Structure formats: C-alpha cells, structure tokens
C-alpha cells in the first residue's frame, strides 16, 4: 500500500475574463462501486468528529479526481504531478473549479475505500486535508490498472 504526502495550496481563482478550457470528460468509475458515496460518508464522519462541516460532492473536483486516478492507472505511475507535467492545481483548474483553497490526497494499492481512509487517517498530512474545515467540496477518483492495481484520488476545495 502506498500513499504520498498530501498537497494543499491556496490558489487564486482564475480571472473571470479568461476563457476556461473545455474540460475533457473523465472516465467514470466502474458502475456499482459507489466510491463517491462511500468516501463522502467516511470523510464526513471523521469531519463531524473534528467539529467540521460536511463536504459535498462537486462535479469539477470529481472530474479532476477521476481523471487523475484513471491517468495514473493507464500510464502506470503514482504522483501528484501528471506525466505531462500538470500539478493537482492545474488539473483542478482545468476541470473548472474556481474555489481559492484546494488540496489533494492520492493512494495506490488499497482495494477498498475504507482501507484507503485508514491509511490516510494514519498519515498526519493526509488527515489534515480530510479534517481541514476550510474545505467544503470534494471529488473522488478511483481506477483499476497499473502496477498497483488500484488508484485513488481525493480532490478538495473551499
């Protein structure tokens, strides 16, 4: 099982006058997995214990997270930086998210959402993203493939 140091940034929103690129549709997680629902429940349960408000699913963050998980699985790598050099902030902005605070957790190898959450909660940096009360939105990505078999992404926004 592998996790990486979570990434957070305060990134100013794009100016409204700049045309937004058309986001490419990201592959959807396998039907019937309920990954987004599982993560919403797990994340919001932990946030409630910490006194934070619930996060809600956001379609732009969902596109960014799913696209990154699918890309890592298809191209067999594990990093916050895509093979084409894009950072998590680049991917989130390209997906159309305009909030000023963003973060990302990634993991690989765990076969269930609950196993990933246990790993992330045991890591101070990943836990800090999950319990950051400034985050109000989340997108979840899951893909199978590559050498780790399972790739997970949580993109947060606020």
- pLDDT digits over 102-140, tens only? 999 999 999 999 999 999 999 999 999 999 999 999 999
Sign of the alpha-carbon torsion through 92, 93, 97, 98: positive
Report the half-sphere exposure of 41 (CA within 13 A, side-chain side): 7
Q: Is residue 22 classed exposed, middle or buried when 0-12, 13-18 and 19+ CB atoms within 10 A define those classes?
A: exposed
> What pLDDT shows up at residue 33?
47
Q: Write down the mean pLDDT value for the chain.
A: 86
* Average of per-residue pLDDT across 3-18: 50
pLDDT of residue 104: 98
Q: Which residue's entry shows tokens 């985050």?
A: 135
**Residue 132 is encoded by which pair of tokens?**
């950051």
Instruction: Name the one residue in this structure whose structure tokens are 């997680």.
Output: 29
Cα Rg, the chain, nearest whole Å: 14
Q: pLDDT exceeding 90 applies to what percent of the chain?
A: 77
Q: How far apart are the first and last CA of the chain?
A: 29
Reference 91, options 3, 156, 1; nearest CA is: 156
Which tens digit of pLDDT belongs to each residue from 41-75?
999 999 999 999 999 999 999 999 999 999 999 99
pLDDT band at 146 (very low <50, low <70, confident <90, very high): very high
For the chain, which domains are there?
35-157 (3.40.33.10)
Looking only at the bridges linking them, the beta strands covering 137-145 and 56-57 are: parallel
């Amino acid at each position: 099982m592998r996790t990486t140091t979570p990434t957070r940034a305060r990134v100013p929103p794009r100016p409204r006058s700049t045309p937004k690129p058309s986001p490419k549709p990201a592959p959807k997680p396998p039907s019937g997995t309920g990954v987004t629902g599982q993560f919403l429940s797990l994340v919001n349960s932990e946030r409630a214990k910490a006194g934070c408000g619930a996060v809600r699913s956001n379609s732009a963050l969902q596109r960014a997270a799913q696209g990154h998980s699918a890309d890592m699985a298809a191209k067999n790598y594990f990093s916050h930086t895509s093979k084409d050099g894009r950072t998590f902030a680049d991917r989130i902005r390209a997906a159309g998210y305009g909030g000023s605070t963003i973060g990302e957790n990634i993991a690989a190898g765990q076969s269930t959402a609950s196993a990933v959450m246990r790993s992330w909660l045991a890591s101070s940096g990943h836990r800090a993203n999950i319990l950051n009360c400034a985050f109000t939105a989340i997108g979840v990505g899951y893909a199978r493939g590559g050498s780790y078999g399972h790739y997970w992404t949580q993109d947060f926004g606020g």
